[in-house]
A and B are shown apart, each in its own frame.
Chain A
C-alpha cells in the first residue's frame, strides 16, 4: 500500500504466558479512519498501546509516519495524538491550565480554539475533577489534538458521552479526516465504526479475523436480508406462504419477517401474493445485514475463550 502511514506487520504481544496479540498485521492509510473492532479482551487496547509507544511489542514490526514507536518514542509523541481509554489529568488542573500545560510541552501555542470547538469554553476555569465524565473525555480529546497530529489514536472515544457529544465527536472525526489526519480508533460500537470508518479490522483473541471496508465486510457476510411486511388484514401472517428465494423467519408485532437472498424477487412475490389474496400492503421494511451482524457472524465462527486487555 503506497500511502500507508500506520503499518503493523506480524505484531506479537505477550503478558507473561498469555498471548495478547498474535501475528496482527494491518495498515492505515493517510487521511483514513481505521477502526479496530472486537469483543472485550480481543487485543484492541493492547494494539493501540503498542502503537502509541506505551508498551513494547514482543515481535513484529511497526511504523507510524516512518517512526518505530519503540526506538523513537519522543519523536512519535510529537507527531501523534492519543486519547487513552483509561487515563486521567491532574485533578486540580483547570481546563485552561490543562491546555496551556500540554501545549507548552508540545511547543505549540495554547489551543483555546479546541476548548471552544469541544464545547468546554464555559468550563475553562473548572478543575478537571469537577468536570462530568463526558467533559473529561472531551478535554482529553482536546489535549490529544493540541499538536495538530498526523495520526490520532482514539480508544473508545464515545464511552460515557451523551448523544449530542457523540454527534459532535463524530463531526470532529470527519473534520480531522478532511484535513488529512489519520484516525485509528478502537470501539465496541458497531454503528459508530460503520458510520465513521473507511476500513475496519475485527480482532478476535489477539488475531485479525477480518479486515476491509464496512461494505466489503457486510457483503462478505453470509447473513441474508430481512424483509418485514405488515398487511391490512394480516392474511400474510395467517397463511405464511412459501416465497421464492426467501425463508419465513417469524411474526413480531404484526410484521411477518422473511430472510431472503434476493430482495427484488421476494418483494415482487409478496406483492403478487397479496393481490391474489385480496390483502393490502401497509408497511414493508428491508433490513440489510450491517456490520453488527457481520461481527456477530465472525465471532460465532471464532468463539472467544479468553484473551488480552
Chain B
C-alpha cells in the first residue's frame, strides 16, 4: 500500500513539472472556457445552459484523451515500463495511478470552471451539485478508460494522437456541448450516439437537475459498461515492451470497447 501512495504522490508532482501536461490539464481547458464564456454565452443562448457541463467535459477530455494516451505510448517506447517491470511495479499501478493522479488536476480545473462559469458568464447552475459531481466523475471514468485504452493499443505516438482526436473533435461538435442534441438531424443524432460526450451530456442534464427529460438510463448504461470494458481491455492488452513483439493483432480487440456505443446508435437510445 505504501508503494501505491508513493507512486501516486510522484505522479501528481510530476504533472506539475511537465509543462505539456499542465497545458492540457489546466491552461488549454481554462483558456477555451474563457473564450467560449466570453463570446458564446452572448451569441448562443443554449451555451449558458450547457456551459458548466460542457466545459467540465471539455476539461475531462483534454486531460484524458489528449494527455494520457501519449504519456503511455512514450513511456512504453522509451523503455520506462521495462524498468518498472524488472523492479516489480505491477501493470495495474501503471494503468490506474495516472488515472487517479490526473483526476485531482481535472477536479481542480472543473471546480474553477463551475464557479467562474456561473459567476462570470452567467452559466446555468445545476440544481443538484452532488448529481453534477457524480456525472463529472462518470464522465471522467469513461473518458479515462478510452484514453488509457488508446494509449495501450497505439503502436506509436502519432497513432495515439490520431485516435484521440477521432473521439475529441466530433465530441466538441456533436456531443451537445455547443449546440443541443435535439437540433441535430436524425442521422447526425445517431452518429452522435457513438460518442461518449453525448451520453455524458445527458448524464449531466439528468443527474445535475438541468433538464426536463426522462432519466437517460440507456446513456448511463452505455457509460458504465464502456468504462468497465475499456479498463478491462486496457489491462488485458497492456504490453510492457515496445521492442518485445511486433504490434500484435490482439490490440484490435480494443474495438470491443465501442460496442455499447454502437448498440446505442443502432437502437437510437
Contacts and interface: CB of A to CB of B under 8 A. Distances in A.
Contacts of A106: 87-88
B86 A82 contact: yes
B2 interface: yes
B83 A77 contact: no
Interface string B7-31: 1001001100110000000000000
A100 B13 CA distance: 14
Contacts of A89: 80, 83
Contacts of A104: 2-3, 6-7
A93 B244 contact: no
A101 B83 CA distance: 12
Interface string A61-90: 000000000000010011010101011111
A88 B17 contact: no
A127 to B, nearest CB: 7
Nearest to A143: B87
A26 interface: no
Contacts of B87: 77, 82, 102, 105-106, 143, 146
Nearest to B82: A87
A92 B14 contact: yes
Contact of A74 (B18, B88, B244): B88
A77 B78 contact: no
B79 interface: yes
A84 B88 contact: no
Query: In the complex, which of the residues B6, B17, B87 has the most CB atoms of chain A within 10 Å of its own CB atom?
Result: B87
A105 B89 contact: yes
Interface string B70-100: 0000010011101101111100000000000
Contact of B88 (A100, A105, A140): A105
Contacts of A140: 83
A82 B79 CA distance: 13
Given A90-B14, A92-B17, A55 B80 contact: no
Nearest to A75: B88
Nearest to A55: B244
A84 B82 contact: yes
A90 B82 CA distance: 11
A143 B83 contact: yes
A93 B80 CA distance: 11
A106 B244 CA distance: 24
Interface string A270-283: 00000000000000
A84 B86 contact: yes
Nearest to B85: A54
Nearest to A127: B17
A165 B18 CA distance: 30
A52 interface: yes
Most interface-central of A54, A82, A90 (chain B CB within 10 A): A90
B241 A54 contact: yes
Contacts of B10: 90, 93, 97, 101
Given A88-B83, A90-B10, 6 more contacts: A54-B241, A78-B88, A82-B86, A86-B82, A89-B83, A146-B87
Interface of B: 2-3, 6-7, 10, 13-14, 17-18, 75, 78-80, 82-83, 85-89, 240-241, 243-244
16 contacts: A77-B85, A77-B87, A82-B86, A84-B79, A84-B83, A87-B82, A87-B83, A88-B83, A92-B18, A100-B6, A101-B10, A102-B87, A102-B89, A104-B6, A105-B89, A107-B3
Nearest first, the 9 closest Cβ-Cβ pairs linking A and B are A87-B79, A92-B14, A82-B86, A88-B78, A104-B3, A104-B6, A87-B83, A92-B17, A87-B82
